[in-house]
Amino acid sequence: MARQEADHDDLFSEAIALTSRALWKRIRPDHPANCQHSDDLDDPAPARLQSVKEILIGTRANDWLSIYWDQSWMVQFNEMNQLRRAYVEPCLYRAQGGTLSRLTRHRNPHETSLLRHDLNEAELHSFLASNSQQLTETFALLDCLESGEFKTFQLASFVHPIDSIQPEVAEQPETIHSTLTARSLVARLGQICMQKLVIAEPPRGRH
């Protein structure tokens, strides 16, 4: 249990160390960004996104990309846009031998154990299809924010590689750094959505 919980914490603590990142937070329908629109507009986000409060996208120094929905869903890609790791509450997934290993915590009255299951072909296909759809929905939502239509999320903070380690509050989201950072990250997500999801090979020298 400790190892899985530590792995979960590591996945989300890594977000702080992303060298380039952008965070979008959900805003109310009556937010000034929507003042020119009708008050009775429905939330245009897909159903799965309507309960999400924050979306974070960022890259590490080695160009690995991570995408987060709150702390309930995370996917990480290597520099070749191949899937390395994922978290779909409450399970962790790791690239392993051409498939994904699912790690699940199992408790009984006497002990807690970590169960590993390597996804079979059908399970892997289902997992990749579902996550591919979530990635596409995320890209479509963030990409449409550029149009100025009714907004459900707004850029809240960002870190550009040449900025300090502390995130800047995006009180004026249309600054050069925030715009370039957010757009480049969304563009990278768009590239991933355009291709078939592929499981990453282990990095050389690591297992």
Model confidence over 41-56: pLDDT tens digits? Answer: 455 566 777 788 889 9
Residue type, 187: A
| Dist CA 195 CA 10 (whole Å) | 28
Predicted TM-score (pTM) of the model is 0.78
Residue-number span of the structural domain to which 22 is assigned: 2-193
Is residue 205 domain-resident?
A: no
> Is the CB of residue 121 less than 8 Å from the CB of residue 145?
no
Q: What is the pLDDT of residues 99-125, one digit of tens each?
A: 999 998 877 777 777 799 999 999 999
Spatial contact of 86 and 74, defined as CB atoms under 8 Å apart:
yes
Quick one: which of 50, 56, 61 has its CA closest to 73?
56
Residue 202 lies in a domain: no
Position 99 in a domain: yes
Q: How far is CA 69 from the centre of its chain?
A: 5
Segment 171-181, tens digit of pLDDT: 444 454 566 78
203 occurs within a structural domain: no
**Domain-embedded: residue 206:** no
CB 150 within 8 A of CB 144: no
Decide if 204 is inside a domain. Answer: no
Given a contact cutoff of 8 angstroms between Cβ atoms, the answer to whether 45 and 51 are in contact is: no
CB 23 within 8 A of CB 157: yes
Summarised one tens digit per residue, pLDDT across range 183-198 is 899 999 999 999 999 9
Does residue 20 lie in a domain region? yes
Asked, for residue 189, whether it belongs to a domain, the answer is yes
Give pLDDT, residue 10: 62
63 burial level (CB within 10 Å; 0-12, 13-18, 19+): middle
Is 96 within 8 Å of 118 (Cβ atoms)? yes
The domain total for the chain is 1
